[in-house]
Amino acid sequence: MTTRRFAVLVGLMILAAAPLSLHARVRDVKIRGYVTRVVSATQFEIEDYRISSDGAFSLDLENGDPDLKFRPEDIRVGVEVEIKGLLNEETGDLKATSIKVDMEQFKKQKQTAILSRPPQGVTRSGNGWTGTFFVDGQRIRISPATEVVFKTNDREVEQAADESFRPLTSLSEITTGMAMTYEGARTIQDGAIVATRVEIRRNFLEPGEKKIWDSLQVSSRPYDAAGLRAGELKIERVGKFKTLPDQDVQDYVARVGRSLVPAYQRTMDERNPTRIPFRFYVVQERVPNAFALPNGIVVVHSSIFDIVENEAQFSAIIGHEIAHAVQEHTWRQQNFQKGKRTALAIGSLVAAVAGKYAIRDLLDLTSAAIANGYSRNLENQADRLGLEYMVNAGYDPREAPRVWKEMSQKLGDQPTNFFWSNHDNHATRRSYLMNELRNNYANLDYSRMRTGDARFRTIVEKIDAAGGGMKKPKK
């Protein structure tokens, strides 16, 4: 890691922050987020925070590269920054004393996504391809210079005589459920990924992944709706939960959840091993939360309904969790972190996948992945695809960033404590979603999108009546 520090002197034309009220609450803060509006090199916004400087501030460049240059005037919409300074909580004005920029965001990225629909918008151009397709919740731009190949996976290599890679000859070769890995850098101009290489492969349920699925067994004890007595949900290797004793609430959440599952998963043959049998449960918990397991078990804490204001906001949370399961994030996170584990842990994982040791070795690592959350890269992917699932189901995606505004107002702008999440704070998630909307949904006909109906308020009332809110029920 290379860090370079520069002293930046603001020019004669100083854009000062608004004067502070005599009674304003002012405090030192550290805010991480994505720039959502730029006025000048020394005045810009991160969602509701208005950043400015009226003197010298330090600019830190993390993960620097000799070929990458960055100056204050390079701060543009979509750039992720970390700001330290003095915040006026009444006005949202933040006078910066330091700005940190992680240069990793400007380097070539590599991402894998399970396709929920075949790519469209590209055509054959000589020996290559050209155009832009919407994959992984964002636009991927390719040109004849982009290497587009079909990859033979490990299982097929054993049965095939051809090479592991071959040029893609027709879009008809690409179907839903396949995996696409793309490499490239994001453009500053419109936020699209300019791909240098795209790989497509068939997707299979790996033996180690299936062991994880099979290990997360569910057992339950029914609730008593008439007596408002909770039931019990037990998930092996995860824990026990009290199920909310209201069938209308359980059915409502399951209906919304199923509407967000990608269409190809909903219509897939039940005998297909890659089909995820999604099941939704509402449990009595006073800490707002939700999580999804690799085998499609989705658990919603009842108190999440104290945060969200409508059905579309609720769908943003559930869509995010569904994306974790569809994109196989538990399995991918484990594989990604192999190099970071101790030799013993790596050996246990490899041996467990190979069937040489007891499954508990693999599951201990799975439990650790669940506890520690996903990497930022996978969290961002779940946020992007959560937006896509919302749009496909007819929900207004602008409600997604508003969830995190509600979180901030009701819980404070603190690091999120979601089961799978390691985002820094609510401003980070909200500003990321705002930029994704700007980059990928600018032309969406929002008049056709919905936020839900009056039934949502009835569900909230039922949850409160069953003792499922954040406040402890009265005795």
Q: Which residue has the tokens 């699925």?
A: 213
Closest CA to 294 of 352, 357, 351, 367: 367
Neighbours of 169 (CB within 10 A): 10
Question: Confidence band (pLDDT; 50, 70, 90) for 12?
Answer: very low
Cβ atoms 282, 344 nearer than 8 A: no
Q: 94 by DSSP, 3-state: which?
A: strand
Cβ atoms 104, 63 nearer than 8 A: yes
Q: What is the pLDDT of residue 201?
A: 92
Cβ atoms 147, 165 nearer than 8 A: no
Question: Confidence band (pLDDT; 50, 70, 90) for 108?
Answer: confident
**Residues 6 or more apart from 348 whose CB is under 8 A from it?**
357, 361, 362, 364, 365
- Cα–Cα distance, 58 to 18 (Å, whole number): 21
Cβ atoms 413, 425 nearer than 8 A: yes
Cβ atoms 187, 108 nearer than 8 A: no
Q: Which residue has the tokens 């034309």?
A: 13
Closest CA to 439 of 377, 388, 394: 388
Boundaries of every domain in the chain: 4-104, 109-204, 208-465
Q: What is the pLDDT of residues 231-265, one digit of tens each?
A: 999 999 899 999 999 999 999 999 999 999 999 99
- Cα–Cα distance, 66 to 61 (Å, whole number): 11
Question: Confidence band (pLDDT; 50, 70, 90) for 48?
Answer: confident
171-180, 352-361, 438-447: range with lowest mean pLDDT: 352-361
Mean pLDDT of the chain: 81
- CATH fold of the domain at 109-204: OB fold (Dihydrolipoamide Acetyltransferase, E2P) (2.40.50)
- Cα–Cα distance, 415 to 412 (Å, whole number): 9
**Residues 6 or more apart from 240 whose CB is under 8 A from it?**
232, 233, 234
Write the DSSP symbol of residue 198: E
Q: What is the mean pLDDT of residues 447-453?
A: 93
Q: What is the mean pLDDT of residues 98-122?
A: 89
- Cα–Cα distance, 472 to 150 (Å, whole number): 55
Q: What is the mean pLDDT of residues 184-203?
A: 87
Q: What is the pLDDT of residue 291?
A: 93
Q: What is the mean pLDDT of residues 90-101?
A: 91
| Ramachandran angles phi, psi of 433, nearest 5° | -65, -40
Cβ atoms 203, 274 nearer than 8 A: yes
Question: Looking at the domain covering 4-104, what would its CATH class be?
Answer: mainly beta
Q: What is the pLDDT of residue 106?
A: 80
Q: What is the pLDDT of residue 410?
A: 79
Asked whether this chain's domains 4-104 and 109-204 adopt the same fold, the reply is: yes
| Residues paired with residue 51 on neighbouring β-strands, in sequence order | 44, 94
Closest CA to 284 of 234, 240, 239, 230: 230
Q: Which residue has the tokens 């879009």?
A: 171
211-225, 251-265, 381-395, 418-432: range with lowest mean pLDDT: 418-432
- Of all helices (H) and strands (E), which one includes residue 390? helix 376-392
109-113, 135-139, 343-347, 411-415: range with lowest mean pLDDT: 343-347
Q: Which structure tokens are listed for 7?
A: 């002293």
Model pTM above 0.85? no
Cβ atoms 348, 362 nearer than 8 A: yes
Angle at which helices 311-326 and 455-465 cross, to 10°:
80
Q: What is the mean pLDDT of residues 294-321?
A: 96
98 burial via Cβ count (<10 Å: 0-12, 13-18, 19+): middle
Pairing of strands 80-88, 57-62: unpaired
- Cα–Cα distance, 373 to 235 (Å, whole number): 18
Q: Which structure tokens are listed for 258?
A: 């199923």
101-105, 296-300, 319-323, 441-445: range with lowest mean pLDDT: 101-105
Q: What is the pLDDT of residue 155?
A: 57
- Cα–Cα distance, 43 to 54 (Å, whole number): 10
Cβ atoms 303, 469 nearer than 8 A: yes
280-294, 344-358, 412-426, 443-457: range with lowest mean pLDDT: 344-358
Which is more confidently placed, 107 or 312?
312
Percentage with pLDDT > 70 across the chain: 79
Write the DSSP symbol of residue 320: H
